[in-house]
Amino acid sequence: MKNNKLSGISKILLVVAALFLILSLFVPVWNIYLDAPQYPEGLMLQIWANKLAGDVDIINGLNHYIGMKTLHTNDFIEFTVLPYIIGVFALLFLVVAFAGKRKGLYIVLGAFVLFGIVAMADFWKWEYDYGHNLNPDAAIKVPGMSYQPPLIGFKQLLNFGAYSVPAVGGWLFVVAGLLLVASVVVEVRKLRKVSVKVPVAVIAILAMFSSCSSGGPEPIDYNKDACASCKMSISESRFAAELITEKGRVYKFDDVSCMLDYISTNKMEVKKYYIADFMKDKEWLDAATAFYVHHEEIHSPMGGNTAAFETENAAKAYTEKYNTNILAWQDLLKKIPAGDIHNNTHVH
């Protein structure tokens, strides 16, 4: 008789997957971003397991003009049942782990995959209904135009760019599913042949999830990505800059002067500023703790003529070369009127 018992590794993977599902109840599952010139920080619709959040009121106001129905949590039965479904799956994962039956593992994998397919189909149907069933008496009517956001990815809707992507909870779902698949792989192969491969795969999965939710600076595709301020291609890695808003939006710049100009003219809550290390190619520094040297001989793309350094000693070598002083981040921010800093940005 074949052994139907789960291995210890499979049980651990199932327990971790169950914990990830439970955590998904406390964070957003999906985000839909709307980007337009009149909203420089963008608008965000957050979809949680039990509610809608984010800029719901503003989005509803905009939707009214084009005839879309307003969004209200109470209008969706999914927000009532989804937390229970997630809880049931987390419980099933734990039951299978502690019962230790391989057959139960296969059944719960099939059920979880089916749930994922049904959930995405329901999400698409919801987007289709809201994007196509428009009020014929709307103030703005474009013949043949629909406003269905993308299921995942980007879509242009009039002057709005719509981005639909998983949030932290969505990635928790993905990782839980991958852990479930990994536990099946352990069971269908001889354990001794994959005893090294499986932990490595799990570590890679967790590393991927960690990088997706870290909230750090994004890599710049040089000579392709455009500066958010001057719209020029970002070409010189030694002078690039980035900021991340409280909503998680990332803005890229080809010069620190462009970033300073941008925050002085656009209202936004900034979570973090990053600046390129002048001495190390394509490496980021926390702008608030970096040391700066400004001189006309430091030729940057848009005339900021400012280099950032990780250490004071590195900056000092250039101040001695150009007979100037070391500047701090606050010195650069002084170029912006005090009212703009207070009202438009949240400086860290």
Q: pLDDT tens digits for the chain (348 residues)?
A: 456 788 889 999 999 999 999 999 999 999 998 888 778 778 899 999 999 999 999 999 888 888 888 999 999 999 999 999 999 999 999 999 999 888 899 999 999 999 999 999 999 999 999 888 888 888 888 777 788 888 888 888 878 888 899 999 999 999 999 999 999 988 887 545 544 444 545 555 555 555 444 567 888 989 888 898 888 999 999 999 999 887 778 889 999 999 988 888 887 788 899 999 999 888 999 999 999 999 989 988 888 889 999 999 999 999 999 999 999 999 888 765 433 333 344 443
E-only strand ranges, the chain: 30-36, 39-47, 52-54, 153-157, 160-166, 241-245, 250-253, 270-276, 284-286, 291-294, 306-309, 326-327
* Contact by Cβ (8 Å): 270, 302: no
Residue 295: φ, ψ to 5°: -165, 145
Give, as one character, the DSSP assignment of residue 300.
Answer: -
Of 105, 101, 145, residue with least CA distance to 17: 105
Rounded to a whole number of angstroms, the distance between the first and last alpha carbons of the chain is: 64
Within 13 A of 98's CA, how many CA atoms are on the CB side? 6
Tokens linked to 115 = 């749930």
Token code pair at residue 261: 């100009």
- Compute the 3-state secondary structure of the chain and give helix, strand, coil in percent, each to the nearest 5: 45, 20, 35
The pTM (predicted TM-score) of the whole model is 0.64
Amino acid at 30: W
On whether the CB atoms of residues 167 and 44 are closer than 8 A, the answer is: no
Show the 3-state SS of 219-263: CCCCCCCECCCCCCECCCCCCCEEEEECCCCEEEECCHHHHHHHH
- Are 276 and 290 in contact by the 8 Å Cβ rule? The answer is no
